[in-house]
Amino acid sequence: MIITIVMIGCRAKEPVAEAGTAADSVDARTPVTVVTVTDGALDDFIELNAVSAFLQKSYVKANANGYLQSADVYPGKYVETGQTLFMLKTKEAQSIGNALQRLDTSLHFSGENIIRAGQHGYITQLNHQSGDYVQDGEQLAAISDRNSFVFLLNLPYELRPQVLGKKTVELFLPDGTRLEGTIGAVMPTVDSASQTQSIVIRVNTAKAIPENLIAKVRINRVAKANAQSLPKSALLTDETESDFWVMKLIDSVTAVKVPIKKGLETNDRVEVLSPLFAPGDKIIVTGNYGLPDTAKVKVGEAANP
């Protein structure tokens, strides 16, 4: 009799345990985080590379055969127009100059020629030093004209309509410097391999920028001053990416599917053209993947908009 009573008692407890498990599964909710729609400026832009360059260079050349007596120049030095760069002593003066001076001191024969800078700028190339023998017309140095400093934008030919209609662009140097550039001349040739055309961009800055520096040029294609947008992670789509929707909270525990029409896209945000959401509407940004049209959710801490 005791054994029978114990067995009956155990069987009576089993349905209670099963009922508790079923209740737990019914109450299960998907943990999510939410954001609100942001209204603000949104723009779509492209980034291209531009290389710094001096369009004009002046070449300093020897004006006679002879020896360089002095060279007060070095690469990177800034020189003014007419500044003395080299003193050249002809080979004849080197051979007989001292003998003539001893014969007649009134001749004042030195045989030295002064070579001056033809324009102002930076010495970017130096071919000879003091003591070198040079021939008439031989290149001694190259001076890059500071006023001809530009950035050359390598523009894919198919993007010409989006760039040539603009007057100014933004340039970002590798050290974080931000410059405003003005679009100038268009080079009349196209690179046969890359099909890119060089566009001259002039910058107005007192900062010394070296040649061959690569900068990022940001060109705005479309800009909107006031657009409602959401993080890209809030957007859901089908396999063909033809329909888009978001999951919106209608109360504290229920989310519904809301089809949307998207507009501009940036690196992390997307514009919502329709419908027009209210400022307090909460949109699921994490945990939304795979949710049905009407789903029970558990809202966690709000994500950053």
Nearest to 112 by CA among 72, 63, 155: 63
Domains of the chain as residue ranges with CATH = 29-42+226-299 (2.40.420.20), 45-54+148-224 (2.40.30.170), 60-144 (2.40.50.100)
Please tell me the distance from the alpha carbon of residue 222 to that of residue 225, in angstroms, as a whole number: 10
Could you tell me the maximum CA-CA distance found in the chain, to the nearest angstrom? 151
The pTM is what?
0.60
Three-state SS for 10? helix
Burial class (CB in 10 A: 0-12, 13-18, 19+), 76: exposed
Please tell me the distance from the alpha carbon of residue 93 to that of residue 69, in angstroms, as a whole number: 12
Indicate the helix (H) or strand (E) that contains 63. none
Handedness of CA 157, 159, 164, 168 (dihedral sign): negative
Radius of gyration, alpha carbons of the chain: 38
Query: Please, are residues 104 and 134 in contact by the beta-carbon 8 Å criterion?
Result: no
pLDDT at 260: 93
Amino acid identity of residue 47, one-letter, is E
Residues 77-110 pLDDT 10s = 888 888 888 888 887 776 665 555 565 555 555 5
Per-position DSSP letters for 119-155, written without gaps between them: S-EEEEEE---TT-EE-TT-EEEEEE-GGGEEEEEEE
pLDDT at 6: 54
pLDDT at 150: 93
For residue 184, the tally of other CB atoms under 10 A from its CB is 12
Nearest to 37 by CA among 288, 235, 255: 235
Bridging pattern class, strands 269-274 and 214-231:
antiparallel
Ranges of residues in the chain with a pLDDT under 70 are 1-27, 94-111, 301-305
